[in-house]
Amino acid sequence: MNTLSTIDTPAALIDQARMQHNIARMQQRMDELGVRFRPHVKTTKCIDVARAQRDAGAQGITVSTLKEAEQFFAEGFTDILYAVGMAPHRLPHALELRRRGCALGIITDGVASARAIAEFGRANGEAFKVLIEVDTDGHRSGIRPEEEALLDVARVLHDGGMRLGGVMTHAGSSYELDTPEALRAMAEQERSGCVRAAQRLRILPNHACATGAQFPEYQALSQEGSLRTWGRFHGW
């Protein structure tokens, strides 16, 4: 029998009772706010944890690679968002997943990428579901909410027969913040930026995406701006 002193590394040691409590706690918050919760599976990279989140009420998952999408789709997860800007050479892989029954959504933040998606989709008779990434902190990628490019990308997708699925954002600079006040301000910046972009497109975001369990606290905001805060989830 293994003990803490004999288990070789790397090894994941999980307190299942605490994990289930944390999953239920997060889902309850999302339910209270009336949003669909789409966990990012790069946090745990674990099928069993993702299943527990789904059983608690999560709807869909987010992935960072198409390899992750493959693995989770093989285990019965069908509603998947590939939350990395779609490179044209990966479109055949995305198409293959969709043809096998995966409801894979993809993202873009530029006219050239949107045009490549639309052209490939039309050539293969596939109406990809595409979200537009919004830049809410000027840190990594995306289109600013007020940029004309936002509407240009939407037009290319729409005119090309693709399905505009909404907007999404991730403020990568939030990793550099370490006070509740700064985190709240960034959360509001993300929320308001997404809503402004969505209003220009006449759509509204209705997904919350958890990216990790490593932050000092979590912020969740409704479309009206109401804020809920809770502490770090220990025990993953």
In the chain, the largest separation of any two C-alpha atoms, in whole Å, equals: 63
Residue 225 pLDDT class (50, 70, 90 cuts): low
Domains of the chain plus CATH, in order, are 37-211 (3.20.20.10)
| Residue 117 confidence (pLDDT) | 98
Contacts of 183 (CB under 8 A, 6+ apart): 174, 177, 215, 216, 217, 219
pLDDT at 205 over 70: no
- Please check the confidence at residue 203 and state whether its pLDDT lies above 60: no
Residues 228 and 191: beta-carbon distance below 8 Å: no
- Six-digit token string for 42: 């790069």
Q: What is the token pair recorded at 161?
A: 């027969």
Six token digits for residue 96: 């293959």
pLDDT value, residue 52: 97
Range with the lowest mean pLDDT among 20-24, 35-39, 125-129, 231-235? 231-235
- pLDDT(235) > 60: no
One-character DSSP codes across 11-78 = -----HHHHHHHHHHHHHHHHHHT-EE--BTTTT--HHHHHHHHHHT---EEESSHHHHHHHHHTT--
Backbone angles phi, psi at 24, to 5 degrees: -65, -40
Radius of gyration of the chain measured on its C-alpha atoms:
19
Tokens of 173: 């600079």
Of all residues in the chain, what percent carry a pLDDT higher than 90?
68
